[in-house]
Structure 1
Amino acid sequence: MASNKAVFSPLDFDIFYNVIDGELSSTQNNVRYGINPFTLENNPAVPVISLHDVNRAVEAAERAAKLWAKVPWDERVSAIGEYANAVEGKAEDFARLLMKETGKPINLARQEINTCVEYLRGFCQLSLPSEVIEDTENRKVVKRYTPVGVVAGIAPWNFPVQLLCMKMVPAVLTGNAFILKPSPYTPYCSLKFAELAQRFFPPGVFQALSGDNDLGALLTEHPNVQMVTFTGSISVGKKVMESCSKTLKRVVLELGGNDPAIVCADVDPASVAVKIASAAFCHSGQICIAIKRVYVHEAVYDAVLATIVEFAKALKLGSGEDAFAGPICNKDQFERIRDLLLNVESTKLTVATGSTKPPSDMGGYYIIPTIIDNPPDDARIVVEEQFGPILPLMKWSDEADVISRANNTSMGLGASVWSRDIDQAERLGKQLQAGNIWINTHAEIQASAPFSGHKQSGLGSAMAVEGLKACCNVQSVYTRPADGTA
């Protein structure tokens, strides 16, 4: 039961289909086109799903979930492991495709595919066994976890397949059927991931539906979807939660972040500044746990600022092997970042390097990496999550004050502290209100560690054993001897 024995054609990375009930499905003339952020040319056509097809997919998932839940854990692990090997075997094809839809340089695209393989294998090292709470002569009490049934995953455009794996693997590993809705901006790799998966999972266990923004509501409102796992903006996350509340669906939300980095007085400015700038400008800042605000102790502020400025000036933009970052992924985000830069200009903030205008000599959605020198705490570039290559640096001198400033946000996804004094770093870190705290590093995550947000940055967990439990109903079983037995 743990594999689909049908014969499949080789993956064609130029033609894209929905994956419904183990089969490739088109929508004939109802298609849309993504945009290549490097060239602004159309990517290939992808289907736009209908309500009829959503219902077909949910019905297939319901059938598959009942059977897949009965497949032994070890067989599910084996299927996921074989799938991981297949993804790894097609890694370069996937990376080249990922470039065209996200604007990632080739090495960053390869890194995302490699991370997917790590997640596929890493989750399979976890387990979720039953737990005996009490076992006496008169009574046995066991806690166990049962799959919820049909799980819908709504993935974002910035890391479409990495987030797909974060959602799909816990759901499928714990015995659920999974339906993916990729972002309309970046559906291509996701559809091919699902197509490849049909070789290893029974029909209906892993499906993928391409569509426009209306597709999300069709899944969150569907009465026969039991759980939704969503990654995206806070505003959309609230709508997802409201929609799910109508049928009391389980929901996991990983939402926006405005991650602060606190740099202490004892750091080596040169080495720390490069690490911070790398964590801020990777993928042109389009990472939920990228560093978004930097608070630098006044004793080293000038030195850190100077190093980050030189780093930003030297960054190579483009798609090649030597490129550090590419363009912004899509026009909507590009225009949002341009609006923030216009605000920087109109409020006369100090631009240490970069520009408030896009480069005129590059054809894609490029934004020049830009550093803002010591803006006020109420500046938009400090308060809002920029999700782009604009980084504000601010001075601090008092620990209590910098903690208050770092925590003064409705978001709480990640935060980091940089110091040679580990006691100081841990003391500051314990006071930061975020789901992920890093000391002398930033943005490291792994399948075995929980990943969640505090405050309005999320609800629930998407990684580790906590992520497995999120895809299950917990069940307590009480057993007593039958009457008349010894």
Structure 2
Amino acid sequence: MSSRLENFINGAFVEATGSSDMDVVSPVSGERVAVSPISEAADVDAAFAAAREAFAAWKSVTPSERQRCLLALADKMEEHSDELVEAQHRNTGQPRRIIAEEEVAAGADQLRFFAGAARLLEGRGAAEYMGGHTSYVRREPLGVVAQITPWNFPLMMAIWKIGPALAAGNTIVLKPAESTPESTLVLARLAGEVFPAGVLNVVLGDGSTGKLLTEHPTPAMVAITGSVRAGQHVAASAAEGVKRTHLELGGKAPAVVFADADLAKAAEALITFGTFNAGQDCTAVTRVIVEDSIHDEFVDLLAAEARKVTTGHSDDAKNDFGPLNNVRHYETVCTKLKNIPAHATVVTGGAPSEDATGFFVEPTIITGVRQEDELVQEETFAPVLTVQRFSTEEEAIELSNGVEYALASSVWTTNHTRAMRFTRDLDFGCVWVNTHLLLVAEMPHGGFKSSGYGKDLSNYSVEEYTRVKHIMHALD
């Protein structure tokens, strides 16, 4: 029997006022696991009213108290790890061990980082920049913020959003993706046990609900992780109210492999980093750009590693990665795989997993693609890697940078000088050397170009949720 979900507003679960619902479907079985409301204007108004009222007191809470609350929430996440894992697995089909390690444990660690960051806001030192006057800077919370999270890492993306916003003293109305709301609701309940009522509110719904959030007059900022199209809509609607926006909008990450790299190690890593979470990761390896002299050898190594990867099992313990998240995305990916251009070659994979009942796709390697191909230019968000050749460093840079996305990239070489050149010339928000995909709370995450702007993680993300005020005192 599927459960009926509710919004979390002002510290309590409440029924949505609207009459429209949607099914939450397991991507493993295709069966309904919950019924979620499509929140309407009255629900959004109630959530923002609660956040406004809570902000009046929360903005003046000391950094040490905000730290205490964030640390308590991190503890509760670990205490309720099994509940969070099961809630998310129902909606995503991700292997439970991956959710436990990469989202619950990592999320708790990231909250603890933000707890410390709450006490480290910085500004210019007080000084007499004008004779007879002392100036200094205050960093203040923005106020109420609206946040929209995606379905690929529901819990982790919620942590990346609420952690810095709460550390800086803001209050929140958050909408999770329509297909993956349950782990966010568990997180909201746990937060309600340690934060004052109204500090964190969660409303459920679809794109129409998200539009209500971005167009609402209350939020001072709208933050979203999602597609380029979704980010464009958010930016356009937020512009009407002159709201700040924070946009993390996906990627098309290249991995440039030189002949002097450890090829066996690189091939194993790139398959791992390209198929992790079924490739549903904005930083996942999607384009392997290989020096011409080792192209065929390296493709063979990639194919051998890809064939070791397992997916498609109803028992997630047998899977290295799970299914694509929802039927619409699954059908889009399958259509792309059916329409691979004639000049390209599928080396391995290229189809749904055999005998799988859910939305599983085999790890796929495609060679012979051209720079203008859709598979190269557009985000596939699946366990699909394309391979291209290059002869010179200049060509490798041109191929790497020749897409609209600019979130993440990597270069694989043992030549230190070359690595330094590529970290400078690759036009991406993150460049890894002889690794990929790895993130830490202390370092910023965010891209350029169509990948959006603003930073998640690190102290930079906390600063995103603050405003700067100049104070000047006359000394006589």
Shorter-chain TM-score bucket reads over 0.9
Corresponding residue number in structure 2 for 1:339? 335
One-letter identity of the residue aligned with 2:400? A
5 Å-filtered alignment, 1:126-275, equals 126=117, 127-135=120-128, 138-275=132-269
* Match 1:351 to one of 346, 354, 357: 346
Give 1:30 deviation, angstroms. Answer: 4.1
**Residues 429-455 of structure 1: per-residue CA shift (max 9 Å, x gap):** 210111111111111222221211111
Corresponding residue number in structure 2 for 1:89? 79
Corresponding residue number in structure 2 for 1:113? 104
1:17 equivalent to 2:6? Answer: yes
* Match 1:320 to one of 316, 331, 345: 316
Greater shift, 423-432 or 315-324, is seen at 315-324
Give 1:135 deviation, angstroms. Answer: 4.3
Residue 37 of structure 1: SS of its match in structure 2?
A: coil
CA distance in 1, matches of 2:310, 2:353: 13
Maintained 8 Å contact 1:148/1:472? yes
Give 1:276 deviation, angstroms. Answer: 0.8
Greater shift, 447-456 or 125-134, is seen at 125-134
Residue 28 of structure 2: SS of its match in structure 1?
A: coil
* Match 1:75 to one of 65, 70, 74: 65
Aligned sequence identity (%): 31
CA distance in 1, matches of 2:285, 2:424: 18
1:32 equivalent to 2:22? Answer: yes
Residue 116 of structure 2: SS of its match in structure 1?
A: coil
Maintained 8 Å contact 2:406/2:451? yes
**Residues 166-212 of structure 1: per-residue CA shift (max 9 Å, x gap):** 11011111111011100001111111111111000011101100112
Maintained 8 Å contact 2:148/2:225? yes
CA distance in 2, matches of 1:365, 1:222: 36
Q: How many residues align?
A: 468
Residue 337 of structure 2: SS of its match in structure 1?
A: helix
1:62 equivalent to 2:65? Answer: no
Are the structure 2 counterparts of residues 117 and 14 from structure 1 closer, same or farther at C-alpha, using a change threshold of 3 Å?
farther
One-letter identity of the residue aligned with 1:471? Y
Maintained 8 Å contact 2:343/2:369? no
One-letter identity of the residue aligned with 1:65? F
CA distance in 1, matches of 2:28, 2:208: 27
One-letter identity of the residue aligned with 2:29? T
Corresponding residue number in structure 2 for 1:104? 94
Give 1:235 deviation, angstroms. Answer: 1.1
CA distance in 2, matches of 1:395, 1:104: 33
Runs of 4+ in 1 over 6 A off after TM superposition: none
Greater shift, 191-200 or 301-310, is seen at 301-310
Corresponding residue number in structure 2 for 1:5? none
Maintained 8 Å contact 1:426/1:439? no
One-letter identity of the residue aligned with 2:6? Y
Give 1:320 deviation, angstroms. Answer: 2.6
Residue 125 of structure 1: SS of its match in structure 2?
A: helix
One-letter identity of the residue aligned with 1:72? T
So what's the TM-score if we normalise by structure 2? 0.95
Maintained 8 Å contact 2:278/2:324? yes
CA distance in 1, matches of 2:11, 2:109: 25
Give 1:374 deviation, angstroms. Answer: 2.9
Give 1:31 deviation, angstroms. Answer: 3.0
One-letter identity of the residue aligned with 1:327? P
User: Any unmatched runs of 5+ in structure 1?
Assistant: 1-12
